[in-house]
């Protein structure tokens, strides 16, 4: 977005703070605001009636969510929870829709972002349908490393504190199976896993697992 477009949007926005592990909204609620994540990370998930969770996506600073209800007028399609302390920009539906009508370039960017999100979801379905757990988990860690990782002397550190249960909820597996696989990889020196922080030490070896080797 251009500077003047950002300034115009900011005139209609307000900033809110959310502490870590706070539910910003639930699937099924009415939605009338768009959120821009200024700082922090959130997870987008679906919850079953028995309380099981499927995580659809993890978002970081600069990402936008809550656009679907604004665009189609239907209830929130997923639950959004902060994973760490977050600062967010909130924009109401009327202001956002009027803004999009005035700025076709921003509307096109939003369509591109939605297409990208659909591609990611297609990859998730492919992952869940066609791959075994080691490959699913390796693909997830490669993706998290690319999007949320930083290169440290010890390896690529994934900057997200996810529980083993959450890792399982991202790849459709139980906490126990994830624990077993992470321990096997830690023992072979492929990664380190301590207090929720994963450091990938052998990216090449993880890549081979991701490819199903």
Among 66, 134, 149, 168, which residue interacts with ligand CMP (rule: CB under 6 A)?
Answer: 66
> Which DSSP letter does residue 168 get?
H
| Identity of the residue, 110 or 205, whose beta carbon is nearer to ligand CMP in the bound complex | 110
Helix and strand numbers (H, E) in the chain are 8, 12
> Which DSSP letter does residue 35 get?
E
Site string for ligand CMP, 84-123 (x = CB under 6 A): ---------------------------------x---x--
Stretch in the footprint of ligand CMP (CB under 6 A) among 68-76, 128-136, 173-181, 202-210: 68-76
Kindly list the distances between the CA atom of residue 142 and the CA atoms of 65, 100, 189, 192, in Å, as whole numbers in the listed order. Answer: 23, 35, 16, 14
Among 18, 24, 37, 76, which residue interacts with ligand CMP (rule: CB under 6 A)?
Answer: 76
> Both tokens of residue 50?
């028995």
Handedness of CA 179, 181, 186, 187 (dihedral sign): positive
Query: Are 40 and 61 in contact, with CB atoms under 8 Å apart?
Result: yes
Rounded (10°) angle between helices 133-148 and 104-130: 150
Among 38, 57, 93, 205, which residue interacts with ligand CMP (rule: CB under 6 A)?
Answer: 57
Among 13, 38, 47, 56, which residue interacts with ligand CMP (rule: CB under 6 A)?
Answer: 56
- Contact between 65 and ligand CMP per CB under 6 A: yes
Among 69, 127, 164, 181, which residue interacts with ligand CMP (rule: CB under 6 A)?
Answer: 69
Q: Footprint of ligand CMP on this chain (CB under 6 A)?
A: 31, 44, 56-57, 65-69, 76-78, 80, 117, 121
């Amino acid at each position: 977005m251009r500077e003047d477009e950002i300034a115009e949007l900011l005139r209609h926005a307000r900033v809110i703070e959310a502490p870590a592990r706070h539910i910003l909204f639930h699937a099924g609620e009415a939605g009338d605001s768009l959120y821009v994540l200024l700082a922090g990370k959130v997870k987008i998930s679906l919850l079953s009636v028995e309380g099981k969770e499927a995580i659809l996506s993890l978002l970081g600073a600069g990402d936008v969510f809550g656009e679907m209800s604004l665009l189609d007028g239907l209830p929130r399609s997923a639950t959004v929870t902060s994973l760490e302390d977050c600062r967010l920009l909130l924009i109401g539906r009327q202001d956002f829709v009027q803004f999009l009508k005035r700025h076709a370039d921003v509307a096109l960017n939003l369509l591109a972002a939605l297409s990208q999100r659909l591609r990611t979801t297609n990859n998730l379905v492919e992952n869940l349908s066609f791959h075994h757990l080691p490959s699913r988990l390796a693909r997830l860690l490669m993706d998290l490393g690319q999007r949320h990782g930083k290169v440290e002397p010890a390896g690529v550190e994934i900057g997200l504190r996810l529980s083993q249960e959450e890792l399982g909820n991202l790849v459709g597996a139980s906490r126990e199976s994830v624990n077993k696989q992470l321990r096997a990889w830690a023992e072979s020196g492929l990664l380190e896993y301590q207090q929720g922080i994963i450091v990938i030490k052998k990216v090449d070896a993880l890549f081979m697992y991701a490819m199903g080797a």
